[in-house]
Structure 1
């Protein structure tokens, strides 16, 4: 499959992409009593260096130390959690089945708000003032001050999303695409490559490079900020297997990626890199 983009001509390379070479720091130590995670649907790097993972099967959020050691369960949801993002202070947002989004206080181990939406809730991203929540047919922007909602009709089919400098980025899982939209939902570019096979989560670094978890071919692929070039930066040879979730702390340049560690999809962990 050839790379495609909305621009008429794609540049073969973009300055800086070849210098991106993540170095592995550690992997999370998953306790035996929570081993049955199924697929880790989301993992986060918090500003203080701690880590969060979503245990979809048991409907839980778990907290890990800076060193990757398990600390505690944060909360258990009534509905299955799909995705998560850091919001501000000690708060994370979690998308849930039954068209819901929850705000969770990580320090107090407490759900502080649950909001109903008009559509399914898959990806979630925040700029600290608003949330954008994606689904198959439309997405919604939620104002965190008054929890008012604005529908983004054109932002569709996004399984995972991220925000950067006002733009909305997302992966289209079954079409192996990465898309970029303006804050109001107008399309800017679409990227597709044979290196991306079942695109899962995505995250952006401080320079606007887009990092994608490519589930089927065991890769982490980075796409240039203009959507014209890509590079595989982590592969199965580096120990990654079936990655779904990814997150980047732009200030500390820490990246976390979920991975199988055996042929059993319930035997999972997350790898932490410096980018």
Structure 2
């Protein structure tokens, strides 16, 4: 079975399955694939464009619903939306450590405590891609070629603007705190050190990287998944796919 997907985000679930967010202007789908890349089923669909998803715990994931200013919690096994969390801003990126959600827009972000659903707004932290690791918030700003790290309290720790980071999209961290960035504008996967002081190219066009945006890592297995474009010269069209690498 073949699918024409507009892959904007995905996650490698703890059981090794791949959850892909297929986003279009009028409708978005969460789609589940096995670890061999074979289609299993559609989980849920949302009206309008959705931009990001993250794993929370057990069978639950979060999906941002863009201009609806909502983030949905979804049970992947039951194929159902558990609840929708209303926010005061557009919902772009989302990340979780199992206890809280961080939901970003370009103007500000919100921390949602998953135990009592209390909200803390971070006025100074706006981002395209967002990640949460050991009490720190990491983000990318696409138009400014910027990667940053803040404490969960909103205190800035570092900003990285390296000449090889161009139009960064998604980002994720490994167990060592290394920051992996999908550098969309120059077809690279970049790695930034935990202190933000050094940066190097991990993958490039020679490794199949073309217009990467989404990225995820299974910290237990070391598998990294990257969304890329591939071209079919016979019909002069490009399609989105996902490649899996061992890091």
In which range does the TM-score fall when normalised by the shorter chain? over 0.9
User: What TM-score do the two structures reach when normalised by structure 2?
Assistant: 0.94
Output one character per residue of 1:147-186: Cα deviation in whole Å (capped at 9) or x when no partner: 2211111212x00111111000000110111000001111
Output one character per residue of 1:67-115: Cα deviation in whole Å (capped at 9) or x when no partner: 1111111110123211011000001101012111000110011111111
Instruction: Say whether 1:108 aligns with 2:78.
Output: yes
Where do residues 124-139 of structure 1 align in structure 2 (5 Å cutoff)? 124-139=94-109
Write the distance in 2 (CA, Å) between the matches of 1:188 and 1:106.
35
8 Å CA contact retained: 2:230, 2:238: no
Where do residues 253-268 of structure 1 align in structure 2 (5 Å cutoff)? 253-262=222-231, 267-268=239-240
For residue 208 of structure 1, give the secondary structure of its aligned residue in structure 2.
coil
Where do residues 23-34 of structure 1 align in structure 2 (5 Å cutoff)? 31-32=1-2, 34=3
8 Å CA contact retained: 2:32, 2:41: yes
Write the distance in 2 (CA, Å) between the matches of 1:177 and 1:61.
29
Report deviation, 1:146. Answer: 2.2
Write the distance in 2 (CA, Å) between the matches of 1:89 and 1:267.
32
Question: What residue in structure 2 maps to residue 178 of structure 1?
Answer: 147
8 Å CA contact retained: 1:208, 1:225: yes
Q: Which structure exhibits the higher relative contact order, with contacts defined as CA atoms closer than 8 Å and separated by 6 or more residues?
A: 1
User: What TM-score do the two structures reach when normalised by structure 1?
Assistant: 0.85
Question: What residue in structure 2 maps to residue 140 of structure 1?
Answer: 110
Decide which of 63, 66, 75 is 1:94's aligned counterpart.
Answer: 63
Output one character per residue of 1:12-68: Cα deviation in whole Å (capped at 9) or x when no partner: xxxxxxxxxxxxxxxxxxx42x31x23x11011100111111110141011110111
**When you count strand as a share of all residues, which structure comes out higher?**
2
Decide which of 28, 36, 48 is 2:15's aligned counterpart.
Answer: 48
Decide which of 227, 236, 241 is 1:269's aligned counterpart.
Answer: 241
Q: Say how many residue pairs are matched.
A: 241
Moved over 3 A (4+): 263-266
Label 1:265 to 1:187 Cα distance change in 2 as closer, same or farther (>3 A). farther
> Where in structure 1 are there 5+ consecutive unaligned residues?
1-30
Aligned-residue CA RMSD in angstroms? 1.3
8 Å CA contact retained: 1:154, 1:186: no
Output one character per residue of 1:192-234: Cα deviation in whole Å (capped at 9) or x when no partner: 1111111000000000000000111110000000001111111
Write the distance in 1 (CA, Å) between the matches of 2:22 and 2:226.
14
> Where in structure 2 are there 5+ consecutive unaligned residues?
none
Label 1:74 to 1:240 Cα distance change in 2 as closer, same or farther (>3 A). same
